[in-house]
Structure 1
Amino acid sequence: MTNQTPESDKREINPFLKSALDFGPILVFFVAYLLLKDHIFTIGGTEYDGFIIVTAAFIPLLIASTGALWFLTGKVSRMQVATLVLVVIFGGLSVWLNDDRFFKMKPTMIYLLFGGMLGFGLLRGASYLKYVMEGMMPLQDTGWMILTRRLMLFFFGLAILNEVIWRTQSTEIWVYFKTFGLSIAVFGFFMSQSKLFQTYGIEDAKGSDTSDG
């Protein structure tokens, strides 16, 4: 018996649909912000700027897209669940208190949480990253530990960077950073680890064992 989802419950869907569910909400948020950023809305006697209105719409949209992803594929990663929970909490606080600072702090909390979890695993001599990503890129245990340590530091760095950006720059610059900057940074990080993947990839290790024989 295992706690993993049975293979029969995991369903493949069109990759374009999956990408739309994964990245669609943040792109909708970005476009909606550009359209509404200069508008003020009066609701129940309280004035809300466009950022707060877009944040209020983003929360149910992300819930719906995550729910659709789970319904169609039969699985949702722990990282997606954690992200959704923090969006609901910090986005909800921004809307409730009419204060955009809470939603801007959300990426900081996400990266501190992920970095902290990886760090906790490292203190226990384990790579929690391996449990999440092993199926996507099989590595030797040494490789997982190195990658986990690097990713932990990277996440802490992103948390600090997000704090610097939202505290010192305009909301519009932060939205661009949140929509594109963070995604590019994560992509760049994994691209920069190509040497590690080559060195500790299980397929490479097996290939060298075969050639030695």
Structure 2
Amino acid sequence: MAEKKIDGKLKTALELGPILAFFVAYLWLKDRVFIIGGTEYAGFVVVTAGFIPIFLLSMAVLWKLTGHLSKMQVVTAVLIVVFGGLSVWFNEPKFFKMKPTIIYLLFGAALGLGLMRGQSYLQSVMEGLMPLTDEGWMILTRRLMIFFLALAVLNEVIWRTQTEETWVYFKTFGLTAAMFIFFMTQGRLFSEHGTGEDEAE
């Protein structure tokens, strides 16, 4: 089924809205302790419990409107349910903090596996978004693989050595900014290996 086009602002709101909601709720509840069923739960765990259904609902709406979810979105949703659920079930925030590490390791490993087979899995996922030559896709895939692995290491360092609040800021804004900066710095690659001008001619 072909992906249906929807308003870009709505798509962005559905993708980033749950993350921003998590951030706002955390700032509001981070210093509170909730007693549920005789067990004490820190604000972080309660916010995590609320984030899971909100994220799944936003993905369901996005799928309903577009008829499509990317493999990355599906994997992310599964890991949010698994690691968020573990954090709530065991009343242990560290599981949810490990989620970005696992996500980036999986994405980096998948890209690396494709490279070992002489293929760019990134190209098969994003080819319609960025017109690049085959060589350009291979270069971008190698760079993104290294970038994902670096983010996995960075997330481990942050959540293990910094405060919980610092990690929440890093998760909400740092990782998003890092991804934006990465693609902004690939301008030369897009210029040298882009196919847009050739197609126009």
Q: TM tier, shorter chain?
A: over 0.9
Residues 60-89 of structure 1 deviation map (CA, whole Å, 9 limit, x = unaligned): 011100010000011111000000000000
1:90-109 equivalence runs, <5 A:
90-109=83-102
Give the structure 2 partner of residue 37 of structure 1.
30
1:13 Cα offset (Å): 1.5
Amino acid in structure 2 at the alignment position of 1:48:
Y
Give the structure 1 partner of residue 181 of structure 2.
188
Q: How many residues align?
A: 201
Q: Distance in 2 between matches of 1:204 and 1:116?
A: 33
Q: Distance in 1 between matches of 2:192 and 2:76?
A: 32
The answer to whether the Cα contact below 8 Å between 1:139 and 1:202 also exists between their aligned partners in 2 is: yes
**Which structure: larger Rg?**
1
Q: 4+ runs of 1 displaced by more than 6 Å?
A: none
The answer to whether the Cα contact below 8 Å between 1:138 and 1:201 also exists between their aligned partners in 2 is: yes
The answer to whether the Cα contact below 8 Å between 1:41 and 1:50 also exists between their aligned partners in 2 is: yes
1:16 Cα offset (Å): 1.5
Give the structure 1 partner of residue 192 of structure 2.
199
CA-atom RMSD, angstroms? 0.9
Which of 175, 178, 191 is residue 171 of structure 2 equivalent to? 178
Q: Distance in 2 between matches of 1:205 and 1:104?
A: 45
Amino acid in structure 1 at the alignment position of 2:57:
A
Q: Distance in 2 between matches of 1:27 and 1:203?
A: 35
Identity %: 63
The answer to whether the Cα contact below 8 Å between 1:63 and 1:84 also exists between their aligned partners in 2 is: yes
Residues 134-181 of structure 1 deviation map (CA, whole Å, 9 limit, x = unaligned): 010011000000000000000000000000000000000000000000
1:1-213 equivalence runs, <5 A:
5=1, 7=2, 10-206=3-199
Structure 1 unaligned runs (5+)? none
Secondary structure, counterpart of 1:138 in structure 2: coil
Q: Distance in 1 between matches of 2:21 and 2:61?
A: 16
Q: Distance in 2 between matches of 1:206 and 1:25?
A: 38
1:204 Cα offset (Å): 3.3
Q: Distance in 2 between matches of 1:151 and 1:131?
A: 14
Amino acid in structure 2 at the alignment position of 1:50:
G
Secondary structure, counterpart of 2:41 in structure 1: strand
The answer to whether the Cα contact below 8 Å between 1:198 and 1:204 also exists between their aligned partners in 2 is: no
Secondary structure, counterpart of 1:75 in structure 2: coil
Amino acid in structure 1 at the alignment position of 2:71:
R
TM-score by length of 2: 0.98
TM-score by length of 1: 0.92
Q: Distance in 1 between matches of 2:126 and 2:97?
A: 27
